[in-house]
Amino acid sequence: MDLDLAPPTGVGPLRIGMTRDAANMALDSLRDLSAVSDSDRPGQQVFRPSGLMISIHCMRDMLEAIELGRPSSQRDRVLFQGVDVFALPAREVVQRMGEFTSIDEDPDDDASFIAPDLLLSFWRPFAADDEPEEEQGYYFSSVLLARPGYYDTPAQAAERLQQSS
């Protein structure tokens, strides 16, 4: 299955801003009923047979963020504008993302990157850009797609509120 990241809208049937009940149903639709994982948590996360993890984060009865974890096989792919964010080396993902939007190294974690205009963040536990055998550092481990304002500080949230009124 291919899942296309469509910021700020969502991923597959998961739509930012949908109610918690609707998000739970959409998440459940991504479960492979022929191979339900013991790690599945209804209303929180699904693990597909490929190892792909799909997790939802709700607050105030609304879907605010969707996180996807790197699968162990290519049976499931996570794409942004044709870029397979888990199959390509992290360095190449950053380079290719830079063709569409600004993408910056996370100031708190030099192995992670944020595309602030798209509300996408890419994480890996450490950087190993020149060591393909070191998969956890060579590839991204997860990608998070969030609602506008998800990363705001309290001051930024107040400013966003003021601008929208």
| CATH number (domain holding residue 55) | 2.60.460
Number of domains in the chain: 1
Select the more confidently predicted residue: 148 or 96: 96
Displacement of CA 68 from its chain's centroid (Å): 5
Q: What are phi and psi of 19, to 5 degrees?
A: -65, 160
**Residue % of the chain over a pLDDT of 70:** 94
Q: Per-residue pLDDT averaged across 35-55, rounded?
A: 89
**Residue % of the chain over a pLDDT of 90:** 72
Contacts of 93 (CB under 8 A, 6+ apart): 83, 85, 122, 140
d(CA 111, CA 123): 7
**pLDDT exceeds 90 at position 32:** no
**pLDDT exceeds 90 at position 99:** yes
Residue 39 lies in domain: 2-164
Mean pLDDT of the chain: 91
pTM of the model: 0.89
